[in-house]
Structure 1
Amino acid sequence: MGAVKTKRMPRAVREQQMLDAAVETFGRRGYMAASMDEIAELAGVSKPLVYLYLNSKEDLFTACIRREAKSLVEAVRAGVRTDLPADRQLWAGLRAFFAHTAQHPYAWSVLHLQARTHGEPFAAEVAAMREEIVAFVTQLIVVAAREALPHPRLRSCGGTPTAPDLAEREVAGLAEALVGAAESLAAWANATAGVTSRQAAATLMNFAWSGLGDLMNGRPWSPPPD
């Protein structure tokens, strides 16, 4: 009787296996210290096969960034139900963000630390992801402003309900600040024992929503005169 032939693994499955190993290695050791030998060994394949599938270390790292960025954005979007009140939408988005970064610490290290510090092509990939998340958060803030319309100080401008003191530039700035705070807090939470993703989300929600709530209700903080 002839030898039993093992079933070949589909290319797409094998490639994901290599990316899993690469994300862990890059996230744990850093881009410069990670070696293709180590990645191949962790993936259970030969180094030539890694090169055959993914061309080079640079292309492999880029593929890791793109996959993990897409996964994070999808997780945040999927976590938000648009039929909920504005504060619940923001809370759900934060919960999804912190849960994903906690469950995938190596991926978050790749996106937040490694990709931003090893050259413009890698940083540009992460910047594209960040722009998408900032745009999504901007819409959540616009929803909050829309819900606050019953307040007499609020009006409709150009067909889009907004607060008169909440100009387009300010909305964009608030979204940038919120995303930046979430990124830093996720890095801190992943490095701090005992901090859960829910606790991290609640910390930022308390920090952000108290201020946003006053702002939407016509009670902004005003700086003292120069």
Structure 2
Amino acid sequence: MGAVKSKRMPRAERERQMLDAAVEIIGRHGYTAASMDDIAELAGVSKPLVYLYLNSKDDLFTACIRREAAALTRAVRAAVRPDLPAERQLWDGVQAFFTYTAEHPDGWTVLHLQARTHGPKFAAEADAMRAEMAAFVTRLIASAARESHPACDLPAHEVAGLATALIGSAETLADWANTTDGVTAAHAATTLMNFAWSGLGNLMTGNHWTAPDPA
């Protein structure tokens, strides 16, 4: 099955090949169906070498989740320039998120779907990335509120809730965009901003929605 390496390669490069193969196999077939034989063959190494480098299938999966989480977070942060207005920062971050998930559909599936459906240990890895993103978006929303309306004083729990809602919407939209013909990353980003920014604008001007009177 797997081909034994024919030449020496730096450990980091060899490990990258294994993780690339694992992300592709798990992203397309699911964690349960993914076999170490198939991962080794796609990586061009022997199965014992995969175990030598990454210890077990669970450890390999964990390494995939951590790598994909770090790469997505890096892409979003790199796109956001702190010298720009907060609205532009949020837009750039949203675009970067959808661009990355569109360009790395297998990685997104590993991170968002597979990690969350195969036990708490793996879900916790994905949740750590989500918490980091939530903190980042919370700061952007708070900055946007201050810039747009200095007198606006949104409660901290409301800002955090808005950030959580925005991230949840982005994740769902990414799944939809990646499986719907003709929907680009730019389309998905614009849809999310149209959905979110109008509501944020109302909040910042004190125009809060209230529940209708049951009577």
How is 1:102-121 mapped onto 2 (pairs within 5 angstroms)?
Answer: 102-121=102-121
SS of the aligned residue for 1:218 comes to coil
**1:212 has 2:189 as partner:** no
Residue 93 of structure 2: aligned partner: 93
Residue 139 (1) aligns with residue 139 (2): yes
Determine the C-alpha separation between the residues in 2 that align with 1:61 and 1:68. Answer: 11
Which has the higher Rg, Structure 1 or Structure 2? 1
- Alignment TM-score, normalising by the size of structure 2: 0.94
Point out where structure 2 has 5 or more consecutive residues left out of the alignment.
Answer: 1-5
- The offset of 1:14, in angstroms, is 0.2
Letter in 2 for 1:92: D
Query: Which residue number in structure 2 is paired with residue 40 of structure 1?
Result: 40
- 2:159 corresponds, among 171, 192, 197, to 171
Mapped to 2, the partners of 1:181 and 1:54 lie a distance apart of: 34
Identity of aligned residues (%): 70
Mapping for residues 1-226 of structure 1, pairs under 5 Å: 7-150=7-150, 154=151, 163-164=152-153, 166-226=154-214
3-state secondary structure, aligned to 2:8: coil
Corresponding residue number in structure 2 for 1:160: none
How far apart in 2 are the matches of 1:36 and 1:133?
32
Q: Tell me the C-alpha RMSD between the 2 structures.
A: 1.1
> 1:41 Cα deviation (Å)?
0.4
TM-score w.r.t. the length of structure 1 is: 0.90
* Offset at residue 224 of structure 1 (A): 2.0
CA deviations 1:190-220 (Å, max 9, x no partner) are 0111110000000000000011112112222
Aligned residues, how many?
209
Residue 7 of structure 1 and its aligned partner are, at CA, apart by 4.8
Return the offset for 1:36.
0.2
- 2:115 aligned counterpart, secondary structure: helix
Equivalent residue of 2:116, what SS? Answer: helix
Within 1, Cα distance between the matches of 2:36 and 2:8? Answer: 23
